[in-house]
Amino acid sequence: MRISVIGCGYLGAVHAAAMAQLGHDVVGVDVDPAKVDALSHARAPFFEPGLPELLREAADTGRLRFTTDMGEIAGAQVHFICVGTPQKRGEFGADLAYVDAAFDGVMAHLGPDGVVVGKSTVPVGTAERLAQRLTDAGSTATLVWNPEFLREGFAVQDTLHPDRLVYGVPAGEAGERAKAALDEVYATPLSEGTPLVVTDYATAQLVKVAANSFLATKISFINAMAELCEATGADVTSLADAIGHDARIGRRFLNAGLGFGGGCLPKDIRAFMARAGELGVDQALSFLREVDSINMRRRVRMVDLAREVCDGSIVGRRVAVLGASFKPDSDDVRDSPALSVAAQMQLQGARVVVTDPQAIDNARAKWPDLSFAETAEEAATDADVVLLATEWTEYRELNPEKLATVVRSRNIVDGRNVLDPATWRAAGWTYRALGRP
């Protein structure tokens, strides 16, 4: 099938390459010429495990190309909209300008049997508004809402083998036609037994933000328990293990620490609250305000712990921050808790050096006033305190004896609860963590 993918960022680039891998003929469109140039040479414009290999394989088949020219989508039957929906500046709501621009572009080149597929995360009501625009223009093309659930770091696997597929379709014959087109697109995962939920527009859009709200709530729940653990001397990792044995609760997404960041969970829960307000049901989501506050408090607590181990003041202290990306196996620094802590400490007078295996360039572009080092050892040289902020494998496996030879003082704050306190203390370190004694 001939497919276009509009917006080739963390979602769209992987989606385009995966669709070519599934046998489709794909054109990816982006307004960023540098991204298109990299992708056209089968180079991933960001770090995502497995993407370089997928791009090369797809390029070899001749079924995948990228362009900045929207005109090249003409002739494709199915058009995926994968552009960003960031938080509006100074507001909680989502900025839909990119979705509207992409939709305008698609409408200009849409055939009568075309299917427009929304994958971006949008406030409920957006699909209905876009579908109405098709109707108003006299178009016989159909809109489907097909939210995406991939995780960065696992994006290739999640796209090729999703946990589930959700189609929000209009009622009647148009909906059946659109469903048939998407069934053809996803024939391989469907044949492998991927669960499929076919529903209406509103439900499909809500499924996405409901899932992210649940995940954010689960993380903030365990981080609230971490606050209780800190007040009582209990250990949040043992607590999570114990409650996680209950299959109704489950251990996944109960890792306490510095909390959630990234280009999805924080902005999605805020946009959801904003939309609920517009719909007059803001009370229904008032708990998400607390989820957000618990999450942001963890960042402040991390700075406080660093201050405590530095005898009450971080002014002039050298601080090594291990990790800049919002999670391991990604170079994405959008709303990164690690960088937020680094920047807060720098503003409070510390001399901060940040390191990361993949995200230094992105971090420097966003926070040019921070200092950066290539390795953990380099960042930790002469440090008064080391902060583990993003749990990359190489930081989990740091040797406390070796690191002790470069620091000024053996102080470590484990912001992700991934180090063994006994090992670090045995090597002479003062070990502090979020929610663990």
Ligand X SMILES: O=c1ccn([C@@H]2O[C@H](COP(=O)(O)OP(=O)(O)O[C@H]3O[C@H](CO)[C@@H](O)[C@H](O)[C@H]3O)[C@@H](O)[C@H]2O)c(=O)[nH]1
Ligand Y SMILES: NC(=O)c1ccc[n+]([C@@H]2O[C@H](COP(=O)([O-])OP(=O)(O)OC[C@H]3O[C@@H](n4cnc5c(N)ncnc54)[C@H](O)[C@@H]3O)[C@@H](O)[C@H]2O)c1
Binding site for ligand X (CB under 6 A): 121, 148-152, 212, 215, 219, 253-255, 257, 259-262, 264-265, 268, 326-327
Residues 6+ apart with CB under 8 A from 307: 313, 314
Q: Which residue, 103 or 221, is less far from ligand Y as judged by CB? A: 103
In contact, 5 and 63? CB cutoff 8 Å: no
Please list the residues that pair with 94 across neighbouring strands.
87
In contact, 215 and 184? CB cutoff 8 Å: no
Of 71, 108, 73, 100, which is closest to residue 3 (Cα–Cα)? 73
Confirm or reject binding of residue 384 to ligand Y (CB under 6 A).
no
Token pair 């929000």 is at which residue? 168
Residues 6+ apart with CB under 8 A from 78: 1, 2, 3, 4, 114, 115, 117, 181, 182, 185
* Smallest separation, CB 153 to ligand Y (Å): 9
Q: Within a 10 A sphere around the Cβ of 372, how many other Cβ atoms?
A: 21
Binding mask 100-119 for ligand Y (x = CB under 6 A): -xx--x--------------
* Smallest separation, CB 76 to ligand X (Å): 24
Confirm or reject binding of residue 168 to ligand Y (CB under 6 A).
no
Confirm or reject binding of residue 379 to ligand Y (CB under 6 A).
no
Near ligand Y by CB under 6 A: residue from 106, 166, 264, 276: 264
* Smallest separation, CB 223 to ligand X (Å): 8
Q: Which residue, 1 or 31, is less far from ligand Y as judged by CB? A: 31
Confirm or reject binding of residue 295 to ligand Y (CB under 6 A).
no
Confirm or reject binding of residue 148 to ligand Y (CB under 6 A).
yes
Q: Which residue, 175 or 435, is less far from ligand X as judged by CB? A: 435
Binding segment toward ligand Y, per CB under 6 A, in 47-55, 99-107, 277-285, 418-426: 99-107
Residue number of the CB closest to ligand X reads 264
Strand order in the sheet with 411-414: 371-373, 351-355, 318-322, 385-388, 411-414, 430-433
For residues 48 and 63, give the distance between their C-alpha atoms in angstroms, rounded to a whole number. Answer: 21
Q: Which residue, 148 or 391, is less far from ligand Y as judged by CB? A: 148
Q: Is 134 exposed, middle or buried (0-12, 13-18, 19+ CB in 10 A)?
A: buried
Amino acid at 25: D
Amino acid at 162: P
Q: Which residue, 110 or 122, is less far from ligand X as judged by CB? A: 122
Binding segment toward ligand Y, per CB under 6 A, in 28-36, 109-117, 167-175, 345-353: 28-36
In contact, 379 and 351? CB cutoff 8 Å: no
Of 157, 150, 153, which is closest to residue 330 (Cα–Cα)? 153
Catalytic residue check, 264: yes
Confirm or reject binding of residue 84 to ligand Y (CB under 6 A).
yes
Confirm or reject binding of residue 213 to ligand Y (CB under 6 A).
no
Pairing of strands 196-199, 411-414: unpaired
Active site residues: 264
Binding site for ligand Y (CB under 6 A): 6-12, 29-32, 35, 82-85, 98, 101-102, 105, 120-121, 148, 150, 152, 263-264
